[in-house]
Amino acid sequence: MEVIRAIAMARKVCNAARSAGRTVGFVPTMGAFHDGHMSLMKRARDERDHVVVSIFVNPLQFGPGEDLSRYPRDEDRDLSIAGELGLDVVFAPGVEAMYPAWPPEVTVDPGPLGDRLEGAARPGHFRGVATVVAKLFDVVGPSTAYFGEKDAQQLAVIRRMVRDLSLAIDVVGCPTVRELDGLATSSRNVFLSLEQREAAGCLFLALSEAAQMARGGERDTATLVAAMAREIGATPEARIDYAAVVDDETFAEVSTIAGPARALIAARFAETRLIDNLLLPAS
């Protein structure tokens, strides 16, 4: 496995793989690997010949006052996990390599999808995500890129970017990996105290309740949102940021479920902000 820091070298190695007729699979990450990251890397390893994972904590997707400086980092551990999974390349550039001029003046506009929910709570977040992913796509040149459904709105933004910019990349969404109580694995879970960790199970409980109600035929999203808010509200450690039901493609909020819809929640546990979501059954 090669660990590459320079863009030119990453480009060269990936070009060589493609020239040799190998398909390139790509998993973009911010490191601090957990089972969610590993499921993406395994899937890429299973499906593609030459597999690249990037580790880059992208400053452009963090707002002022967010957790950029305390974001968990453990590169040594990440490298040994990537090695064990049999990946070909870890691309771990520094900020200067990715942003030769800071801040960049030319960025990727994620469109209206980027202004909703997570985008409203974190202005500029999806512009930062779309920009860095576009840059990474250009360096790696994958045929297939793997993203987690855990960050469903991010996945939707990337799908839309690939469509609107006519990028020749297959975007694969991978199921959310969860702990036994349903909490989605996340790099940020390490910040939770024992009590907060226990309380954080309320996110999945709330989403599951909405899913169950939808399965039972409830189509009114205000009722589903109220049920989710009630579940989070009953958890003293949690402070709700938003609960919503959206159209699964546009992420516009819907009042009635008429097609594929997704329930989403963002909540804070003291300083730690967690998000989760679930596709609602069609009943």
Question: Which residue numbers are catalytic?
Answer: 37
State in angstroms the smallest separation of the CB of 58 from ligand AMP: 8
Give the separation between CA 169 and CA 52, rounded to whole angstroms.
14
User: Which of 13, 17, 26, 36 is the binder for ligand AMP (CB under 6 A)?
Assistant: 36
Q: Within 10 Å of residue 179's Cβ, how many Cβ atoms? A: 16
Tell me the CA distances in angstroms from 4 to 50, 59, 121, 140, one per residue in order.
14, 20, 34, 12
Cβ contacts of 8 within 8 Å, gap of 6 or more: none
Q: Which stretch binds ligand AMP (CB under 6 A): 10-18, 79-87, 173-181, 202-210?
A: 173-181
The Cα 101–Cα 135 span in angstroms is 14
Please pick, from the candidates 17, 40, 205, 263, the single residue that binds ligand AMP as defined by CB under 6 A: 40
Q: What are phi and psi of 51, to 5 degrees?
A: -115, 130
CB of 53 to ligand AMP, least distance (A): 9
Query: Contact between 39 and ligand AMP (CB under 6 A)?
Result: yes
Q: Among 41, 98, 148, 161, indicate the residue that binds ligand AMP (CB under 6 A).
A: 148
H-helix or E-strand spanning residue 171: strand 170-174
**Residue number with CB closer to ligand AMP (83 or 222):** 83
Give the H or E element holding residue 25.
strand 24-29
By CB under 6 A, which span of 45-53, 72-80, 115-123, 147-155 interacts with ligand AMP? 147-155
Q: Does residue 147 bind ligand AMP (CB under 6 A)?
A: yes
Short-list 122, 121, 154, CA closest to 36: 154
Verify binding: residue 187, ligand AMP, rule CB under 6 A. yes
Which residue, 206 or 257, has its beta carbon nearer to ligand AMP?
206
Indicate whether 151 belongs to the interface with ligand AMP (CB under 6 A): yes
Note the residues at the interface with ligand AMP (CB under 6 A). Answer: 29-30, 36-37, 39-40, 147-148, 150-151, 174, 176-177, 184-187
